Amino acid sequence: MREIIVISGKGGTGKTSLTAAFAHMASPVLICDLDVDAPDLHLLLQPENTETHVFMGGHSALIDPKTCTGCGTCREMCRFDAVSEDNGTYCIEPLRCEGCGVCVAFCPAEAIAFPEKECGRWFSSETRFGPMMHAQLYAAEENSGKLVALLRTKARQKAEAIGMELILSDGPPGIGCPVISSLSGVSYAVLVTEPTPSGRHDLERVASLARHFQVPAGVIINKSDLNENECSVIEDFCRQQGLDIIGRLPFDPVITHAMVHGKAVTEWDSGMFSARIRELWNRICGLAACRKDMNHTTINN
Ligand code: SF4
Ligand code: SF4
């Protein structure tokens, strides 16, 4: 089974639109939206949920007023200012509590419970391009890396159960915990960037992450006609770093029109732009297979 992930290091590069188009090209495929903090692939794929599950992650402190002696230790110890006091009664603000557990450990009366809390939901769904695994972390909740790891495990289990050979994931933005969780062990990473200094900077960061995890990766420069000089700088960077140059994709408003109508751009447009995306997808499949063979050869040697 192969896992191909599309990441960008930065929002607004067109990563999700490209993932939807690739899902259309690869259909039927198991699709996974790993941007659990702000998922949006469902807006294009309009999944029908077949299963909904609660995601429990982290803990929240809760004072039992009957056992509390009012010593104030928890308030002194809490670095997040989550404990309030009113006329000698102590209580914890759930939205401020970071679940570090310090107050629980230091409460002399053992008056603080520390239950697991519900942080989000994850879903198994069906779309017109194949099954989809996706999730939504609740606002201000943490542990997105843990939710990403859970989603990937469930996606692999589902793919095995139904005999699906490819998992295509829309990765989270940035280079933090959820991206690390989504990158490790994938077959190939498609890094989508745009020809701007900030796009290049974020590409450098996410490329170094892929290198760290020894994930073969290639780059698509989206909106490439906006800055020819910056495209050349990015391609030089790719050559220096051993990244595949998958190709360029010019700016085209058709991508926005497709998005507004809840379609993958390849469904909406049957012209040159979609043909170009098909070319890019074929290249990705070829590169991913080639890299896989190279890994096998290296391991066998
Ligand atoms: S440390 Fe425990 S006993 Fe002291 S105020 Fe806090 S909850 Fe109450
Ligand atoms: S668990 Fe940590 S953040 Fe929450 S109230 Fe206790 S000390 Fe503060």
Residue list, ligand 1 pocket, CB within 6 Å: 63, 68-74, 90, 107, 109, 111-112
- pTM of the model as a whole: 0.87
| Average pLDDT score, the chain | 92
Lookup: tokens for 42: 């469902």
Determine the distance separating the centroid of ligand 1 and the alpha carbon of 99, expressed in angstroms: 16
pLDDT tens for 166-185 read: 999 999 888 888 899 999 88
Predicted confidence (pLDDT) at residue 206 exceeds the cutoff of 90? yes
pLDDT tens for 281-290 read: 999 999 998 7
Give the confidence band of 116 by pLDDT, cuts at 50, 70, 90.
Answer: very high
For 225: left if phi > 0, alpha if psi spans -120 to 50, otherwise beta; the answer is alpha
CATH class of 61-114: alpha beta
Please tell me if the CB atom of residue 14 comes closer than 6 angstroms to any atom of ligand 2: no
Most ligand 2 atoms within 8 A of CB, residue of 79, 102, 112 to mutate: 102
Q: Which atom of ligand 1 is nearest to the CA of 69?
A: 3
15-26 vs 272-300: helix axis angle to the nearest 10? 80
Predicted confidence (pLDDT) at residue 293 exceeds the cutoff of 80? no
Determine the distance separating the centroid of ligand 1 and the alpha carbon of 106, expressed in angstroms: 8
Going across the sheet that includes 116-127, the strands are: 48-59, 116-127, 130-137, 30-33, 166-170, 2-7, 188-193, 217-222, 244-249
Predicted confidence (pLDDT) at residue 298 exceeds the cutoff of 50? no
Tell me how far apart the alpha carbons of residues 236 and 225 are, in angstroms, rounded to a whole number: 17
Most ligand 2 atoms within 8 A of CB, residue of 75, 81, 83 to mutate: 83
Q: How many CB atoms lie within 10 A of CB 134?
A: 25
Q: Domain extents for the chain? A: 2-56+119-300, 61-114
Residue 264 backbone phi and psi in degrees, to 5: -70, 145
Determine the distance separating the centroid of ligand 1 and the alpha carbon of 57, expressed in angstroms: 25
pLDDT tens for 225-235 read: 999 999 999 99
pLDDT-wise least confident of 81-90, 110-119, 141-150, 279-288: 141-150
Q: Which CATH architecture has domain 2-56+119-300?
A: 3-Layer(aba) Sandwich (3.40)
Predicted confidence (pLDDT) at residue 296 exceeds the cutoff of 70? no
**Residue 139 has what pLDDT?**
81
Predicted confidence (pLDDT) at residue 190 exceeds the cutoff of 80? yes
**Residue 9 has what pLDDT?**
74
Determine the distance separating the centroid of ligand 2 and the alpha carbon of 3, expressed in angstroms: 38
Percent with pLDDT over 70 in the chain: 96
**Residue 89 has what pLDDT?**
95
pLDDT higher for 291 or 24? 24
Helices (H), 7-85: 15-26, 41-45, 73-77
User: What's the distance, CA 100 to chain centroid?
Assistant: 25
pLDDT tens for 153-163 read: 999 999 999 99
Range 91-115 average pLDDT: 95
Please tell me if the CB atom of residue 78 comes closer than 6 angstroms to any atom of ligand 2: yes
Closest C-alpha residue for ligand 2 atom 7: 78
Predicted confidence (pLDDT) at residue 300 exceeds the cutoff of 50? no
**Residue 295 has what pLDDT?**
54
Determine the distance separating the centroid of ligand 1 and the alpha carbon of 229, expressed in angstroms: 62
pLDDT tens for 23-77 read: 999 999 999 999 998 899 999 999 999 999 999 988 999 999 999 999 999 999 9
Closest C-alpha residue for ligand 1 atom 8: 68
Determine the distance separating the centroid of ligand 1 and the alpha carbon of 83, expressed in angstroms: 10
Range 86-110 average pLDDT: 94
Q: Which atom of ligand 1 is nearest to the CA of 85?
A: 5
**Residue 301 has what pLDDT?**
42
Range 9-13 average pLDDT: 77
Ligand nearest to C-alpha 83: 2
Predicted confidence (pLDDT) at residue 97 exceeds the cutoff of 60? yes
Please tell me if the CB atom of residue 210 comes closer than 6 angstroms to any atom of ligand 2: no
Closest C-alpha residue for ligand 2 atom 4: 97
Tell me how far apart the alpha carbons of residues 167 and 116 are, in angstroms, rounded to a whole number: 31
